[in-house]
Structure 1
Amino acid sequence: MSHPRAPVLLLMCGVAFAGKTTLARRIASRCGHHRISLAEILGQGPSLDLAPAQWERAADEAARQIDRLLGHGHDVVLDDSNASRVRRDRLRAVARHQDAKCLLVYLPLTLEQGLQRLAADRVEHARPDVSEPLYRDHVARFEPPAADEPALWFLPGEDALQWVGLHEHALRVGSDNPSSPSQRQAT
């Protein structure tokens, strides 16, 4: 008798402008994951200057949606920075509650790279403007995954469509696929 595959929760993890939304959309499109976006729950584009209570309400709603979808056997990708270990652990607990696998998809970005993308966005007006001091504070507060948090890494300059194709199996089954050339250990 075969057992159904456990659902998968993918947690996007990275600072603003790292490419999380682009990659999350590619994963959802190619792999069939339900995409949950905190920015969409908030009813606006991504913003770093919201009150902590607003973010917390959106995070609570995202956790409820994730719990419900995983409980029905659906795979989910959470499009958010997941900037703290506490938040990531909370979401891992939701996955465990539903006997789902959980995997981080980490998009590392240096402050300099982020500031370049911020400047480019000011020309393109693709998202709400972020002041440089607010962005610097966001990057300074971000907690990268620790060594005990296995993650697939999506590096700056990688093509999202090719990357998803290369890692499709791991994304569908929630494996960190340690043999993957794009998988690194956090330091």
Structure 2
Amino acid sequence: MAPRLVLLCGTAFSGKSTVARTVAPRLAATVVSLDEINARRGLWGGDGIPVEEWIRTNTEAHAETRALLTAGTSVVVDDTSSPRFLRDGWRALAADVEAQFTLLYLDIDHATILARRAANQTSGKRQDVTDEVLTQHLADFDPPGPDENPVRLSSIDLESWSAQ
């Protein structure tokens, strides 16, 4: 059976990392997290990262994912995956190594995102995102269109889906 590449797509605080940790064991997959790659590189996206650095991180993520898929290991990519050309690049990588491809879009409304961020600011469970970066991120986010055939999870779906 061909390995699978599951590409997560969603804004900050949409639950991508939580979903990645839930999905990966079920698929015997490895998580490739662009946030973790940035951390290894001494970068933190919550403060804003120059485009050139995101390109380097994305290139490294593609190389790690390609190696895993080529070895027969399924991969869950934990990333915002916006704009569209980034999703198209992951789709092309999967096709190139003959892996199955699933785009999993966490379609979470902005009110929920802001509530989760506020809860995080109290708990400190993860690093925060500056107001300026979050505002720009939410304004610029490019959600997948119907032609991309995403599997869509909403806030309610995510709660019940994670419980299963």
Taking structure 1 as the reference length, the TM-score comes to 0.79
* Correspondent of 1:42 among 6, 28, 38: 38
Deviations 1:116-160 (A, max 9, x none): 111111101122222223211101111101111112122214456
Counterparts of residues 53-132 of structure 1 (less than 5 Å): 53-132=52-131
Give 2:24's aligned residue.
Answer: 28
Deviations 1:89-139 (A, max 9, x none): 011111111011111111012222211111111101122222223211101
Q: Distance in 2 between matches of 1:89 and 1:80?
A: 14
The count of aligned residue pairs is: 161
Q: Contact 1:17–1:117 at 8 Å: present in 2 too?
A: yes
Counterpart residue identity of residue 147, structure 2: D
Q: Distance in 2 between matches of 1:30 and 1:92?
A: 21
Q: SS at 1:154's partner residue?
A: strand
Q: Contact 1:106–1:152 at 8 Å: present in 2 too?
A: yes
Q: Which structure has the greater CA radius of gyration?
A: 1
Give 1:135's aligned residue.
Answer: 134
Q: SS at 1:103's partner residue?
A: strand
Give 1:13's aligned residue.
Answer: 9
Q: SS at 1:104's partner residue?
A: strand
The structure that is helix-richer by fraction is: 2
Q: SS at 1:106's partner residue?
A: strand
Where does structure 1 lack aligned partners over 5 or more consecutive residues? 167-187
Deviations 1:37-90 (A, max 9, x none): 011111268623122222111110000111111111111100011011000001
Q: Distance in 1 between matches of 2:87 and 2:163?
A: 25
Alignment RMSD (CA, Å): 1.9
Q: Contact 1:27–1:164 at 8 Å: present in 2 too?
A: no
Q: SS at 2:146's partner residue?
A: coil
Give 1:156's aligned residue.
Answer: 155
Counterpart residue identity of residue 84, structure 1: P
Give 1:179's aligned residue.
Answer: none
Moved over 6 A (4+): none
Deviations 1:3-58 (A, max 9, x none): xx121100000000000000101111222111100111112686231222221111
Where does structure 2 lack aligned partners over 5 or more consecutive residues? none
